[in-house]
Amino acid sequence: MLEKQNTLLDAYKNAKYQVTGHGKRDVSVLLDSFTNQTGQEESDMYGSGHIIDRFQEKMAAYLGKESAVFFPSGTMAQQIAMRIWCDEKGIRKVAYHPLCHLEIHEEDGLKELHHIEPVLLADPNKIIKLDDVVNMKEDISCLLLELPQREIGGQLPTFEELQGISDYCREKGIKLHLDGARLFEILPFYNTTAAEVCALFDSVYVSFYKGIGGVAGAILAGPKDFTETSKVWKRRHGGDLISLYPYILSADFYFDQRVGKMEEYYEGAKELAALYNACEGIRTLPITPVSNMFHVHVQAQKGEMERILADTYGESGVGLTGHLRENGENRCFFEVSIGDNYEKVSKTDLKQAFILLVNKMKKRTVV
Amino acid sequence: MLEKQNTLLDAYKNAKYQVTGHGKRDVSVLLDSFTNQTGQEESDMYGSGHIIDRFQEKMAAYLGKESAVFFPSGTMAQQIAMRIWCDEKGIRKVAYHPLCHLEIHEEDGLKELHHIEPVLLADPNKIIKLDDVVNMKEDISCLLLELPQREIGGQLPTFEELQGISDYCREKGIKLHLDGARLFEILPFYNTTAAEVCALFDSVYVSFYKGIGGVAGAILAGPKDFTETSKVWKRRHGGDLISLYPYILSADFYFDQRVGKMEEYYEGAKELAALYNACEGIRTLPITPVSNMFHVHVQAQKGEMERILADTYGESGVGLTGHLRENGENRCFFEVSIGDNYEKVSKTDLKQAFILLVNKMKKRTVV
C-alpha cells in the first residue's frame, strides 16, 4: 500500500527534471542562505535586536505599511490579526472564503483559541466578490481576502473589484485583512507594487516559504498600534522565540533572490498551463493562470492517471507532479507552482513529455 | 541614559573572560551545529519526517516517556500541556508557583487563550512543598512543578519531597507536570537519571537553549495520547511549522555536546558561589547551588554596585555579570548560569577578581 502510494512521487523525484517548485526542501535551503554569514552577528532576542528590526523595517517599507512583525508562521500571524480587529470592534465575527486557510488547515485554532466565529462568504468554487460582501447579513469586525485563492487554483478578482470591496469595507467600518501568502506571486498580473495592493487593506500577512522559497516564517504588517498588540499575542501564542534568526536571515536571502523573478514564474505558469490544456480530459484552473500557480483537473480515475503520468516521466525524463488528489470517483487534480526549477527544464524534453501525455490521454479508455 | 544602562554590559563584554553562559548568542551558534550537515537531508514537513521523528524518539527514550513532540517554544508546549490535562478532567484550574514562567513571562497566554485559572501555591520566596499541595483547597486538574525554581535562584525540593508530592497527586487524581526548562542541570544534584525524575510526572517539558545552549526549541513528553493531542494544539497555536529543522538539528547537536557536562557546570557553580559568599554584603541564593545556576543578592544600591563590578572587570579582566536588577531601594541581584565559559576563565585571574571585589565591598560606605 505504502509502496503504491509512493510510485508517482518516486517517479517524479527520479525524473531528470522536475517542473515545479524551487527544488528539494532539504537542509541545503538553510545552508545556502547562510553562506555569506560570518556568524558574528548577534541573535535577535525575544523579538528585539538588529537582525529582526532590520528585516521588519525592510518589509514594512516594501508593503507600504507603518510597521511589520516577524512571526514563525502565518497560522499564528493571521489568527492574531483576526483577534485584534475583533477586540477593537467588540464583535467576535470575521468573514472569509469557505476554503480559507484558517477554516481548513489550522485545526480550528481561530475558534478554539480565540472563540471567533467565521462567516463563510461565497461559493467554495468561486472567489469573493463585492456582491458577496454587500449581501452579507452578519455584522463582522474583519473581512479576510486571500489573494490568490489557493484552494481553487489561485484565482483573483480584478483590481477594480478589490478596490470596490476595500471602499465598501472602509465605508462600513469593516477591517480588511490580506492573506498574502502568495502576494509576491500576483504582482505581475496586477502590474502593481506590493504597496499598491496593500494600500487597500488594513493589515497584511505574507509568507516566505511559498514563492520566496525560504525555510519558514511570515510577516504581519499594519498600523503601529496593531503590530505592537500583535507582539503581545505572539508571546501568548508561544511564538516570541528567543531566536528567530534562522528563519529571518533565510527569508531575507531568498526574498532578495526571488522577489524579482515572479514575472518569470508567472510566464512559465501560463506556458505550462497551455500545454496541459492541449491534453484531452485535462483542464487547468484557471484556464489562464494569474500567478505562478494553477490547478490541473483531470477527468480520470486517480490510479489510472498516476500510471499515465509515471510512464510519461519515465519516457521523457520530465516529472510533472508527485501527488494527485481524488476529486470524486472519476476525477482527480493536482497543484502546480512554478519556481526556479522551471527554467532548468529542457524545452525540448518538456515538449516531448507533453506529446507523450497528449497521446496517452487520447488512447485511454474514456470513462 | 542608554549609555549609562550599557556601562556594566559593555564592561562585561569587553572583559578578557566572561564567567557565565556558553558564549555569545550569535549566528555562529547555529552555524557551528551545522558543520557536519551535508545539506542533503530532507526537511521535516509539518511535524513529520526523519529529522523530527528521530529526535522526538531519542528524547522520549532519554526522558523515559512513551512519546515526545518537538515545539518551537516552551511557552507553547506548557500552555498546551495544561490545556490537555484540564480538558481531560473537565476542570479549568491548575496550580503552580507564584513565580512560574506561565504567570510572569507569557503575557497571560494561559488565561487569555485557554481560559485556565491558576492557583498560586506557596510563598513566592519558597519552593512548593507537599504541605502546600495537601492544604490546597481548590480542585485542580494539574500541578506544575518547576525544577529548579528559577526565579528564586534555582532552588529544589529533596527527591523524597518530590516523591511525596507525586504520590499524593496520583492518589488524588491530579496530573503532575514538570517544567524542566533546566532538568538536565539538576541531575547531578539528585544523582539520578532524567527518566527517574520524569517517572514522578505525567508530562514533562525540557528546553534546549538554557543549559544545552541551542538556538531555541523544546520537547513535550508524556503518554502517546497526550502527545498526539498536543500536536493538534501545536497546529492551533501556529507552531506546526513546515520546517523546524534549524532548531531540531542544533538542539540535537548541543544536547550531545553538553548533556554530559552538567556535573562540571554544577561544580563550577558551587565554587563560584563560595567566592561570592566570601564578600561582605553579598549572599548567593541558594547559599550552596543545587544546579548550574544561582542568584547573587547584594546589599547595595544598583548604581553603586554597577560601578564596583565594572571597576573589578576592568582591573582583573574577568567579567562576572552584565546585568543587575533592582530589588528594593538598597538592594540588587543578578542571575548566574554556569556553562562552557567557566572552564575557560583563568583561575588565577578569577581569584584576583574576587580579591578585588572583597576589598571593594569592604571599603564601600555601608548603607
Q: Which string of DSSP letters, residue by residue, matches B50-86?
A: HHHHHHHHHHHHHHT-SEEEEES-HHHHHHHHHHHHH
Matching fold, domains B2-25+261-363 and B44-242:
no
Chain A partners within 8 Å of B38 (Cβ): 27
Grid coordinates belonging to A240: 516570541
**Interface residue of B10, B243, B252 to substitute, partner A, most A CBs within 10 Å:** B243
**Interface residue of B28, B242, B253 to substitute, partner A, most A CBs within 10 Å:** B242
* Of residues A348, A320, A77, the one with CA closest to residue A222: A77
Selecting from B43, B239, B249 the residue whose C-beta is nearest the C-beta of A25 gives B43
For residue A1, pLDDT beyond 90: no
Q: Residue B124 phi/psi, 5° resolution?
A: -55, -30
- Answer yes or no: are the C-beta atoms of A258 and A29 closer than 8 Å: no
Report which residue type is found at A335: E
Q: What is the CA radius of gyration of chain B?
A: 21
pLDDT confidence of residue A2: 45
- Size of chain B, expressed as the number of residues it contains: 367
Q: Any idea which fold A44-242 has?
A: Aspartate Aminotransferase; domain 2 (3.40.640)
- Answer yes or no: are the C-beta atoms of B144 and B78 closer than 8 Å: yes
Report which residue type is found at A257: Q
Cβ distance of A215 and B30 shorter than 8 Å? no
- Answer yes or no: are the C-beta atoms of B295 and B152 closer than 8 Å: yes
Chain B nearest CA to A106, separation (Å): 6
Question: Which CATH code fits B2-25+261-363?
Answer: 3.90.1150.10
* Of residues B194, B291, B195, B207, the one with CA closest to residue B251: B207
Write out pLDDT tens, residues B113-167. 999 999 999 999 999 999 999 999 999 999 999 999 999 999 999 999 999 999 9
Grid coordinates belonging to B75: 511557552
**Interface residue of A30, A104, A207, A209 to substitute, partner B, most B CBs within 10 Å:** A30
How is chain B split among helix, strand and coil, in percent rounded to 5?
Answer: 50, 15, 35
Chain B nearest CA to A91, separation (Å): 17
- Closest-approach residue (CA) in chain A for B215: A243
Residues A327 and B226: their CA atoms lie apart, in Å, by: 34
Q: Report yes or no: B28 at the A interface, CB cutoff 8 Å.
A: yes
- Closest-approach residue (CA) in chain A for B24: A42
For CA atoms A271, A275, A277, A281, the dihedral sign is: negative
Cβ distance of A75 and B235 shorter than 8 Å? yes
Cβ distance of A107 and B235 shorter than 8 Å? yes
Q: Report yes or no: A321 at the B interface, CB cutoff 8 Å.
A: no
pLDDT tier for residue B364 given thresholds of 50, 70 and 90: confident
pLDDT confidence of residue A3: 47
Write out pLDDT tens, residues A37-72. 999 999 999 999 999 999 999 999 999 999 999 999
Selecting from A27, A79, A108 the residue whose C-beta is nearest the C-beta of B41 gives A27
Domain segments of chain A: what residues? Answer: 2-25+261-363, 44-242
Write out pLDDT tens, residues A70-103. 999 999 999 999 999 999 999 999 999 999 999 9
Q: Report yes or no: A71 at the B interface, CB cutoff 8 Å.
A: yes
- β-bridge pairing A293-298 and A282-285: antiparallel
pLDDT confidence of residue B3: 47
- Number of CB atoms found within 10 A of residue B108's CB: 14
Q: Report yes or no: B40 at the A interface, CB cutoff 8 Å.
A: yes
Q: Residue B332 phi/psi, 5° resolution?
A: -150, 170
For residue A126, pLDDT beyond 70: yes
Average pLDDT in the B264-285 region? 98
Write out pLDDT tens, residues B204-248. 999 999 999 999 999 999 999 999 999 999 999 999 999 999 999
Selecting from A31, A233, A238 the residue whose C-beta is nearest the C-beta of B73 gives A238
Cβ distance of B73 and A240 shorter than 8 Å? yes
* Of residues B141, B195, B144, B202, the one with CA closest to residue B173: B141
- Answer yes or no: are the C-beta atoms of B235 and A107 closer than 8 Å: yes
Average pLDDT in the B13-21 region? 97
* Of residues A259, A341, A281, the one with CA closest to residue A21: A341
The torsion defined by the Cα of A348, A350, A351 and A352, in degrees rounded to 10, comes to 80
Residues A53 and A367: their CA atoms lie apart, in Å, by: 58
For residue A258, pLDDT beyond 70: yes
Selecting from B24, B34, B238 the residue whose C-beta is nearest the C-beta of A31 gives B34
pLDDT confidence of residue A364: 82
- Answer yes or no: are the C-beta atoms of A109 and A75 closer than 8 Å: yes
For residue A202, pLDDT beyond 90: yes
pLDDT confidence of residue B254: 98
Average pLDDT, chain A: 96
CB pairs under 8 A between A and B: 166
- Answer yes or no: are the C-beta atoms of A205 and A218 closer than 8 Å: yes
- Answer yes or no: are the C-beta atoms of B198 and B65 closer than 8 Å: yes
For residue A268, pLDDT beyond 90: yes
